[in-house]
Chains A and B, each alone.
Chain A
């Protein structure tokens, strides 16, 4: 009897909830993320729904690994989510295939000077398809204060050059004790791009149609990454440790280049740490800025409601919820300090962002192109020949140049 009453109550409640949604414009919002990120999205959606009489947003989520396949399957089935989160890696390909709704007219009302805005992650062929969601800074220098203190070294700062970095790394390295002075990741955004830029080189030419991996300046950067492994032995070679996903967390590394998003995992590390800008190379100091965006499906029938929701997401209220959650740095500059309330050890990162407001040239965008994800994979895998000492950097770069160019040429011709 009791269970029957409970059942009836559940039915009545469900009906009541359904009735509140009936009559509203329902839109679907698809995201990827871990449990904490999904919680933040849910809070944003709830807040928006509470404020709406005519629109109701349904949140749908997958893991990062399943996201783009799920998205492509839904697009093919003419069942695309109305609004979804987009990554720069796939942006150009999706835009070219006509997946996104053209937001150019709607974006006219947005003052982009108030945002960190990366055209490569939001525009294609001069048309706005994405609204700025958040940013990731790549190639920042994490350092272990305990190891620096023990070695009697001053912490890295804005005056540091590659030479200062190398000198400190030599003092911090004790191979027998498994202590290392530095680690430069070999994937593009984590360290490879920034080292090449600091040497004066580039991945691609200015119109992003030709790779420039074998130019003397690019090779200078690659040689530096090789030398710290096999000449100075301050950076463990790829063949030293296997299966290690994040060296900095071991506490055995004095300095590690990486992404700003890593600070989420570093929050409760059992040692003191800080963040500094990447040390200055022979041609200057450059870090990367990457961006996720909110896009609208070209299949959507509810453009007005979609845009209303996006305006909320990129507005102060939506951005503040994201900042408070601490999973991503909001794109809206005025809300950025809220994010850093979560991370008192990351003042060095806030410093980098503040400096970039004065001198935007220190942050460069990721060289996204059509089929970026394909050539980036080829680039990393082919340069790995150098990092494992299978061949020298010049030869590996030459192979990477040919293989990557083939992929890009094919993508541009299609």
Chain B
């Protein structure tokens, strides 16, 4: 019963989110820390997504357990032709290049799990070069309200790459392209990836400290998640990107093209 209510409340939020796709929106929300309400500006002509508070953190092992660990999260799918944001002419279709993902958070981490269809998985590069192989690109605009009119990255905008590695000598890794950060801070991320028959799965926990964020329910950030694919084994090339904000990949770092991400607490456990 409780789980059904949770699902219903998430569905209601998703319906609200889809309204944001249609129009320019400001939202009055109750702040968790005070009785007052605040007005939030939302990006429009894009998607609004929700990450629920996790009372119990998921085990980051690459095995995505939907019934116990990720059940609170909406299921987000990327794999429709409209999701292809970069070089659609290279897209090999949803069976070969698509993704399903889940999100959550607690006081310490932002969590994401993803099942990626990527056949075959192609990744030859490490570190800052990982963009030339299969990887996931995340963007966070952590001061979206303050910098709402910004058109290029500043220190509050994070571009993070997640590589599954090549399941051989290249290990799964995370790289922050912008802003400059100490690798010792990035090393506090937890990441695990496993190869599957159709691509790879991964689970990641990104410390809020890395993003300089104090999370709380109702918090709104700019957000994009873009799985990137390299089509030909043995090559270094970014061939196609699908994205939660398909206009974002062709407008590098411009937060005007990001989506909205709400941190929510459907169980009131925060």
Contact = CB atoms under 8 A, between A and B. Distances in A.
Do the two shown chains form a genuine complex with each other? yes
Interface of A: 238-244, 377-378, 380-382, 384-385, 387-388, 390-391, 403
B126 A243 contact: no
Contacts of B234: 403
Contacts of A240: 182-184
A388 to B, nearest CB: 5
Contacts of A384: 125-127, 129
B186 interface: yes
Interface stretch (B169-177, B220-228, B254-262): B169-177
Nearest to A238: B127
Nearest to B125: A381
Nearest to B171: A390
Interface in B177-194: 177-184, 186
A77 B236 CA distance: 28
A378 B175 CA distance: 19
Contact-size category for B: 20 to 34
Contacts of A385: 126, 169-170
B124 interface: yes
Given A240-B183, A242-B183, A384-B129, 15 more contacts: A241-B182, A241-B183, A242-B177, A242-B180, A243-B176, A243-B178, A243-B181, A377-B236, A378-B236, A381-B124, A381-B126, A390-B169, A390-B171, A391-B169, A403-B234
Interface of B: 124-129, 132, 169-171, 175-184, 186, 234, 236
A243 B170 CA distance: 20
26 contacts: A239-B127, A239-B183, A240-B182, A241-B181, A242-B127, A242-B128, A242-B175, A242-B182, A242-B186, A243-B176, A243-B177, A243-B179, A243-B180, A244-B180, A377-B132, A377-B236, A378-B236, A381-B124, A381-B236, A382-B124, A384-B125, A384-B127, A387-B127, A388-B126, A390-B169, A390-B170
Contacts of B183: 239-242
A76 to B, nearest CB: 16
Contacts of A391: 169
B37 to A, nearest CB: 37
A386 B175 CA distance: 17
A256 B236 CA distance: 28
Contacts of A239: 127, 183
Contacts of B181: 241-243
Chain B contact residues, majority secondary structure: mixed
Nearest to B181: A242
A29 B180 CA distance: 38
A403 B125 CA distance: 13
Contacts of A387: 127
A381 B130 CA distance: 9
A244 B178 CA distance: 8
Contacts of B179: 243
A376 to B, nearest CB: 11
A377 B128 CA distance: 12
Contacts of B177: 242-243
A22 to B, nearest CB: 39
A366 to B, nearest CB: 20
A132 B11 CA distance: 65
Nearest to A237: B183
Contacts of A381: 124-126, 129, 132, 236
Contacts of A242: 127-128, 175-177, 180-183, 186
A381 B127 CA distance: 9
Contacts of B182: 240-242
Nearest to B187: A239
Contacts of B236: 377-378, 381
A391 B179 CA distance: 27
B127 A388 contact: yes
A385 B175 CA distance: 15
A394 to B, nearest CB: 14
Closest 5 A-B residue pairs measured CB to CB? A243-B180, A244-B180, A381-B129, A381-B125, A242-B176
Contacts of A238: 127-128
User: Which of A242, A244, A387 is packed against the most chain B CB atoms within 10 Å?
Assistant: A242
A89 to B, nearest CB: 15
A73 to B, nearest CB: 14
A242 B179 CA distance: 8
B249 to A, nearest CB: 14
Contacts of B175: 242
A37 B34 CA distance: 53
Contacts of A382: 124
Nearest to A178: B182
A390 B171 CA distance: 9
B180 A241 contact: yes
Nearest to A395: B169
B129 A380 contact: yes
B141 to A, nearest CB: 16
B128 to A, nearest CB: 7
Nearest to B237: A377
A241 B182 CA distance: 5
B250 to A, nearest CB: 12
A239 B186 CA distance: 10
Nearest to B252: A65
Nearest to A247: B180
B126 A390 contact: yes
